[in-house]
């Protein structure tokens, strides 16, 4: 059977943004314009949704990363959701690993925000080609050019505006497309049919200057174009697009666009830019892994007929089908009902169902081919970061690296009878989330959970209640110790056996607080520097 979508017509992309920049709104508009949802606002009203967890809707943040498929013109898009909150950067990182390109959304008022810098650095690490979308052009204080400047200075990137906004703030009407040199304005409320017209006379010179700058930047990345540019020859729209695509994919520059997702202006042009400038699965480096038999490095061809290599990038417990594993297939074809090798764990797994996740429904499919993303049911021993391959042609793709959790709290069920249930639930949550850990403190017997930040652990507590019906209390661990300390030892203070104040253990300074029972040190509230040998902080009973 021929593929429905040739590889060059697939775009695996992430919408990457600082919290509040408008990722949810932009994603929702994408689903609207691509016909996946039928009413603007549908996502927030529940039902069809990218932000499907109740906590996300209540808190207005995106935590889980689903991969949702939609079509734009003749192209298949898999949109991999990436959370915007600092506690979830590990999640962002694992998703960056499996996507081929990103749309980075900025708030035109705030410009480049601290979290944008974090995700930008993460995207650099995985060489993810990007386009920038300066959203919220309708807001008071919106400034496209300042945001472009910040992309240059704060992110050390080479931003190349390919649009110039027409009007700004409440007067934001649309943009001048510097490639086609036409003006694009939005007259109907839903922005469904943008109006394309000549650039107003008064703006022509300015637009031409911006176009010249753009052409110069693009030409700098391409020898042939440089020559043409220097000789003053006309560079065609096609030549420009080809060179821009090449330069974007090689991360030499980032095209910048503008819009207001909320006011339905600019989203379609952004989708066109995804098609034009972001890579398909065959435009990026082919997958490389280690053959576990020979321990030699191998490269796989991005081809349906090549041996299977696929990376599991997310596990979720789904209320309907149970354990759902999101998979990116790099080479070969994964079939429903097939036996595959989890090469990382050295276990054979059977793929039950394969599901294509649409915004408002899921579709059972028989197979998924190279370059594509779907979710599988039935993989029991597979975890995030594991490789699936043919047993006769094993390969282990580079796994996803996860940072070590940074905070920890003690947790106990409100009613003792829930202790076992809580243990099972926490175990399940830890299976889904490699940056969440659970263990029992040997000395105090307390259950300790560790995560990436307060919000992360709050959400765990919330999910315990909602999904597993376990109400739990959290508190500071009775014995808090941290094995690795980054700050240097400097504190002065009294010996630690005196309660309160600070103390020195070997070369480590600790700030301690009285033990609740009034004996020795039970609680070390802060480690000021060095590495704490565990025996030093045993309660002195
Ligand atoms: P996320 O946190 O990045 O997912 O951001 P949201 O999409 O939830 O948007 C955050 C807030 O900004 C919401 O109140 C949106 O209605 C608002 N917003 C999103 N896009 C725009 C826009 O283009 N213009 C204006 N004025 N507000 C917007």
Q: Give me the DSSP letters along 176-190.
A: EETTTTEEEE--STT
- Residue 521, SS3? strand
What does the pLDDT read at residue 363?
Answer: 87
- Ligand 1 atom showing the smallest separation from residue 28 Cα: 7
Cβ(445)–Cβ(451) below 8 Å: no
85 is in an annotated binding site: yes
Confirm or reject: Cβ of 168 under 6 Å from ligand 1. Answer: no
The CA 374 to ligand 1 mean position distance, Å, reads: 28
pLDDT along the chain (541 residues), means of 10: 82 90 88 71 42 47 60 92 67 82 96 87 91 97 97 96 94 95 88 88 95 92 87 89 96 97 94 97 92 90 95 84 91 96 93 87 90 93 91 87 80 90 89 84 84 85 89 76 30 31 45 42 42 41 34
What does the pLDDT read at residue 523?
Answer: 40
Nearest in space to 236 (alpha carbons), one of 257, 206, 215, 213: 215
Is this complex's ipTM strictly greater than 0.85?
A: yes
37 is in an annotated binding site: no
- Ligand 1 atom showing the smallest separation from residue 261 Cα: 23
The CA 139 to ligand 1 mean position distance, Å, reads: 10
The distance from CA 198 to its chain's CA centroid, rounded to whole angstroms, is 38
Confirm or reject: Cβ of 139 under 6 Å from ligand 1. Answer: yes
Structure tokens at 322: 């149970």
What does the pLDDT read at residue 358?
Answer: 80
The CA 24 to ligand 1 mean position distance, Å, reads: 7
Structure tokens at 333: 């074809």
Cβ(445)–Cβ(421) below 8 Å: no
Give Cβ neighbours of residue 302 (< 8 Å, ≥ 6 apart): 7, 281, 282, 286, 287, 330, 331, 370, 371
What does the pLDDT read at residue 298?
Answer: 92
Confirm or reject: Cβ of 22 under 6 Å from ligand 1. Answer: yes
What does the pLDDT read at residue 477?
Answer: 75
What does the pLDDT read at residue 315?
Answer: 86
What does the pLDDT read at residue 526?
Answer: 47
What does the pLDDT read at residue 348?
Answer: 95
17 is in an annotated binding site: yes
The distance from CA 307 to its chain's CA centroid, rounded to whole angstroms, is 28
- Residue 206, SS3? helix
What does the pLDDT read at residue 445?
Answer: 81
Confirm or reject: Cβ of 136 under 6 Å from ligand 1. Answer: yes
Cβ(530)–Cβ(490) below 8 Å: no
Helix H or strand E encompassing 213: helix 204-219
Confirm or reject: Cβ of 85 under 6 Å from ligand 1. Answer: no
First to last CA, the chain: 72
Confirm or reject: Cβ of 29 under 6 Å from ligand 1. Answer: no
What does the pLDDT read at residue 39?
Answer: 56
Measured distance CA(154)–CA(287) in Å, rounded? 32
Measured distance CA(288)–CA(369) in Å, rounded? 17
Confirm or reject: Cβ of 20 under 6 Å from ligand 1. Answer: yes
149 is in an annotated binding site: no
The CA 169 to ligand 1 mean position distance, Å, reads: 14
């Amino acid at each position: 059977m021929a593929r429905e979508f040739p590889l060059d017509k697939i775009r695996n992309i992430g919408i990457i943004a600082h919290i509040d920049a408008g990722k949810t709104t932009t994603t929702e508009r994408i689903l609207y314009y691509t016909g996946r949802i039928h009413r603007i606002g549908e996502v927030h009203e529940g039902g069809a949704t990218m932000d499907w967890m109740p906590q996300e809707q209540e808190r207005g943040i995106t935590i889980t990363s689903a991969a949702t498929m939609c079509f734009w013109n003749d192209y298949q898009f898999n949109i991999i959701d990436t959370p915007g909150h600092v506690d979830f950067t590990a999640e962002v990182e694992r998703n960056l690993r499996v996507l081929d390109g990103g749309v980075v959304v900025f708030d035109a008022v705030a410009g480049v925000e601290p979290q944008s810098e974090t995700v930008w650095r993460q995207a650099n690490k995985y060489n993810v080609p990007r386009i920038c979308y300066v959203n919220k052009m309708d807001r008071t204080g919106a400034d496209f050019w300042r945001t472009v400047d910040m992309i240059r200075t704060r992110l050390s990137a080479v931003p190349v505006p390919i649009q110039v906004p027409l009007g700004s703030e409440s007067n934001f009407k649309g943009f001048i497309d510097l490639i086609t040199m036409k003006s694009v304005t939005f007259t109907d409320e839903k922005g469904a049919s943008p109006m394309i017209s000549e650039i107003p006379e008064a703006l022509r010179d300015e637009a031409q200057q911006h176009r010249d700058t753009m052409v110069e930047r693009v030409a700098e990345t391409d020898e042939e174009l440089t020559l043409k540019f220097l000789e003053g020859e006309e560079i065609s729209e096609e030549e420009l697009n080809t060179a821009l695509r090449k330069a974007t994919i090689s991360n030499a520059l980032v095209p910048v666009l503008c819009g207001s997702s909320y006011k339905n202006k600019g989203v379609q042009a952004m989708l066109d830019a995804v098609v034009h400038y972001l890579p398909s699965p065959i435009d990026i480096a082919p997958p490389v892994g280690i053959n576990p038999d020979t321990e030699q490095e191998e490269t796989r061809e991005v081809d349906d007929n090549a041996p299977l290599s696929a990376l599991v990038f997310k596990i979720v417990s789904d209320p309907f089908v149970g354990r759902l594993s999101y998979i990116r297939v790099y080479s070969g074809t994964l079939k429903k009902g097939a036996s595959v090798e989890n090469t990382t764990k050295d276990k054979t797994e059977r793929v039950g169902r394969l599901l294509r996740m649409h915004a408002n429904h899921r579709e059972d499919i028989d197979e998924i081919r190279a370059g594509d993303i779907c979710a599988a049911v039935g993989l029991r021993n597979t975890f995030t970061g594991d490789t699936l391959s043919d047993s006769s042609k094993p390969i282990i793709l580079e796994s996803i690296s996860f940072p070590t959790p940074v905070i920890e709290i003690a947790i106990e069920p409100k009613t003792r009878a829930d202790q076992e249930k809580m243990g099972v639930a926490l175990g399940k949550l830890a299976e889904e989330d490699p940056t969440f850990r659970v263990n029992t403190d040997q000395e105090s017997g307390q259950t300790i959970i560790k995560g990436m930040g307060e919000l992360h652990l709050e959400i765990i507590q919330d999910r315990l209640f909602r999904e597993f019906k376990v109400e739990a209390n959290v508190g500071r661990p009775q014995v808090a110790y941290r094995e690795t300390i980054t700050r240097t030892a400097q504190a002065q203070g009294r010996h630690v056996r005196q309660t309160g104040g600070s103390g020195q253990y070997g070369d480590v300074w600790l700030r301690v607080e009285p033990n609740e029972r009034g004996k020795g040190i039970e609680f070390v509230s802060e480690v000021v520097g060095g590495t704490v040998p565990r025996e030093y902080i045993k309660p002195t009973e």
